[in-house]
Structure 1
């Protein structure tokens, strides 16, 4: 089934096909730079899919051959013309923190998430990719975090870059604002695999076939366990994991999985060949 859920002029296009939500940043004339409208739209989409058990995977990409060129500074420039308030939160900080809230939602989505990076992923675009579970990158694309070269800290993306590639490597890349080729991004851990521009769709479909071969409730439980491991004490993590394991055994899905294995057939939840829309 394919369901188009957005209009072509919207800042974010979404399509639901074979259990997969494809979300496309849709400002190709601005290299998909992040505006308030785009951040709000993607945040709302994360809220929507988080509560939809039909969604088996979430794919994020950009229209027009570019993933995301980072933040659109027009909004910040308008705020910079106003003096900082004498009391209360600076509107610039509030505006910036809104993007961090989006990254939190994206990273917390309960289903597997994949970023498909073409052209450039700069600044906030790096953050969006880092918040996803898996990153597929075109061989001619590049990553960059140029904030410090512009006189800024990479405020909201920093924790997500650290979580993906580790503190030492992340710190140096962000301190220097270095631009990384696809091969360098793969080595650094910002990307998980690369493909020729013409082969991106093939690689994406291959990964989605693997995702859709696994049982979705078990996948969601796995993401919860991994998230807990980063923020809770080990005994609490293992207690919650044992509960999830027991629930899975009693749910009946394991029986289906074992019977399917014995009968040498696909389990009932598997979508063997997902239909993947052409990349923009």
Structure 2
């Protein structure tokens, strides 16, 4: 696949999300460094659009989420909430604050449901909603000098939309305690808690990302999409139905010809045609 760069908005310093696609990997960089990449309305909207595009674009093989300016994400932006708080709660129907809050949860659901491998790259800090973004990804890597926290309860709020994604990663007991206390975690502590999968030395995060992407791009894309589908189904459907659908996916893969290429490459001790050994990274804004 040829290298390409694409953006739904001009890839300038003013775009809330910088988007680049290289060798099938879509890199989405939160681009509000002056606000530590807080989750402003424009960032959430841009991420939502990108998730929709990735879900419907077979040319995308992986999705990488990171932040500009050395910080992953400082969490929610209270500007929108403050405007809504000036108005009293409605006598009937859903509170507009609840509707506004739920939009972020819908974004996390879309991110978690993407059909390709997803990676979050934490530098600097991941706070509140930033932890939710990372937890919704398949793989989370973190610079050794970064930290994360979920301080919502210390501010008088529940971690409403991120909680299901945190406990899915860290487990119920550990995730619940971390959210109840708002404890700040170092990279080593986040790794132990299960919120992070790998850590790098300071300055080594790009090398670690390239190593992770090389593993992703060594696997056949359709097989990866089928694997994500099977795993997602396993959490919500009856086991026998999951196995029936998985058998159909297996048959489709076996008849596709990709297996022949994989076996031929193994026998010849060469890389299969889909493998990209050294994925390039775009410049971070």
For 1:196 and 1:68, locate their aligned partners in 2 and report how far apart those are by CA, in whole Å: 20
Work out whether residues 118 and 138 of structure 1, in 8 Å CA contact, stay in contact via their aligned partners in 2: yes
For 1:35 and 1:171, locate their aligned partners in 2 and report how far apart those are by CA, in whole Å: 26
For 2:150 and 2:84, locate their aligned partners in 1 and report how far apart those are by CA, in whole Å: 23
5+ residue gaps, structure 1: none
For 1:132 and 1:197, locate their aligned partners in 2 and report how far apart those are by CA, in whole Å: 22
String of CA shifts for 1:100-139, please: whole Å, max 9, x gaps.
Answer: 0000000000000000000110000000000000001010
Aligned to 2:116: 111
Aligned to 1:95: 100
Aligned to 1:262: 267
Deviation at 1:7, TM superposition (A): 2.4
For 1:26 and 1:4, locate their aligned partners in 2 and report how far apart those are by CA, in whole Å: 15
Aligned to 2:41: 36
**Residue 24 of structure 1 aligns to a residue in which SS?**
strand
CA-based RMSD:
0.9
String of CA shifts for 1:34-75, please: whole Å, max 9, x gaps.
Answer: 011111110000000111111010000000010000001111
1:175 to 162, 180, 191: 180
Aligned to 1:211: 216
Deviation at 1:269, TM superposition (A): 0.8
Aligned to 1:166: 171
5+ residue gaps, structure 2: none
Deviation at 1:263, TM superposition (A): 1.1
Work out whether residues 201 and 278 of structure 1, in 8 Å CA contact, stay in contact via their aligned partners in 2: no
Equivalence map 1:49-60=2 (5 Å):
49-60=54-65
Q: TM-score, normalised by structure 1?
A: 0.98
Q: TM-score, normalised by structure 2?
A: 0.96
Aligned to 2:24: 19
Aligned to 2:276: 271
Deviation at 1:279, TM superposition (A): 4.2
String of CA shifts for 1:197-221, please: whole Å, max 9, x gaps.
Answer: 3111101001101100100000000
For 1:54 and 1:95, locate their aligned partners in 2 and report how far apart those are by CA, in whole Å: 32
